[in-house]
Amino acid sequence: MRALTGTIQSYDAPATQEIADHVGLPVEQIVRFDGNTSPQALPSSRAEALTEELGRIHTYPHGGYPQLERAIADYAGVAPENVVLGAGADDLILLVTRSFASPGDTVAVANDPTYPMFPISVWIAGASVGDDNPVLTITCRPNNPTGELAELPSARPLVVDEAYFEYSGASAVDLIEDGVIVLRTFSKAFGLAGARAGYALAGRDVAAELNQRQHPAPLSTLSAALALAGLESPPDVAPILEERERMAGRLRDLGRQPLPSAANFLYVPVDDPQAQYDLLLHQGLAVRPVRGGIRITIRTLKDDERLLDALASSRGA
């Protein structure tokens, strides 16, 4: 087996039941602030959306998903020929990286800290992360975990991970004919994290090359049906944005200094992220410890107030 060019450490979080068992609380008292996902399923995620597909679940999706590709194209303001489907953004990160990078190549990752899947995809491709003559540059916008909406790098080819596009409203889609590849997901604003559905937007020639390198039917028929239902009724993110700003203000009242965010989460600097994580976890509140701070997913007022109360009692952390 070919050796990896870097050390891969899992960035997944423990299961909710595992957390409950660890801290000795009922599972229904565990609140996840660590996934940057919707606090509840959206109305479009209904059983009726799956009825037709369940009737033909015994067969393959011959011919792919042209209806979903057209719906994505309409939503993103591009042509169906610009769309590449994938099983969530991670699948597309892996696809794009291995399509451009080979063993011995260098891939630049623009943000630091940023989403761990970027270097993982580089190492799996046999390439190295660095800025010396890269064959590909990857950026996350808004950036995870900081929420920053930074300027786009000028490098090409450029991958722009827009997992949080619905919250920021800022996109590089107008640059797809200029060597830019945009990645998006249905896991965040659309509330379909468990369905594993995403898409890339690229220039027609690049999209055609990526589709040649993507495996057939990269997402399930049920996931495609849920994504299509979501596009028929796109989510309203205004309540999350309002709650984010309220939460940021309350954190400042507690003496915390959350960074400005263009996403559905807040990055809060702390001296010891792991210690703060452990303190909150033992109260059934799972945040994400990252370098220099904790990342907090915005949920509902009730959930967020519970977290704020816990933070108020641990100001020294």
Identify the residue with better confidence: 315 or 2.
Answer: 2
Can you give the pTM of this predicted structure? 0.95
Confidence at residue 48, expressed as pLDDT on a 0 to 100 scale: 86
The 3-state DSSP class for residue 198 equals strand
In this prediction, residue 257 has a pLDDT band, given cuts at 50, 70 and 90, of very high
Confidence at residue 117, expressed as pLDDT on a 0 to 100 scale: 95
Q: What are phi and psi of 251, to 5 degrees?
A: -65, -40
Q: Is the pLDDT of residue 309 over 50?
A: yes
Q: Averaged over 151-171, what is the pLDDT? A: 98
Q: What are phi and psi of 185, to 5 degrees?
A: -140, 160
Rounded distance between C-alpha atoms, residue 162 and residue 45, angstroms: 22
The vertex-115 CA angle with 9 and 307, nearest 5°, equals: 95
Query: Which class in CATH covers the domain with range 16-41+236-312?
Result: alpha beta
- Of the chain, the percentage scoring pLDDT greater than 70 comes to 98
What are the start-end ranges of the H helices in 116-220? 117-124, 165-168, 204-213
In this prediction, residue 10 has a pLDDT band, given cuts at 50, 70 and 90, of low
Q: Is the pLDDT of residue 317 over 90?
A: no
- Range 48-232 classified under CATH 3.40.640.10: yes
Residue range(s) in the chain whose domain bears CATH number 3.90.1150.10: 16-41+236-312
Q: Averaged over 139-155, what is the pLDDT? A: 97
In this prediction, residue 7 has a pLDDT band, given cuts at 50, 70 and 90, of confident
When the pLDDT of each residue in the chain is averaged and rounded to a whole number, the result is 95
Q: Averaged over 237-252, what is the pLDDT? A: 98
Confidence at residue 13, expressed as pLDDT on a 0 to 100 scale: 85
Q: Averaged over 93-99, what is the pLDDT? A: 98
The 3-state DSSP class for residue 180 equals strand
The predicted-structure confidence for 199-238, as pLDDT tens digits, reads as follows 999 999 999 999 999 988 899 999 999 999 999 999 999 9
Confidence at residue 315, expressed as pLDDT on a 0 to 100 scale: 66
In this prediction, residue 276 has a pLDDT band, given cuts at 50, 70 and 90, of very high
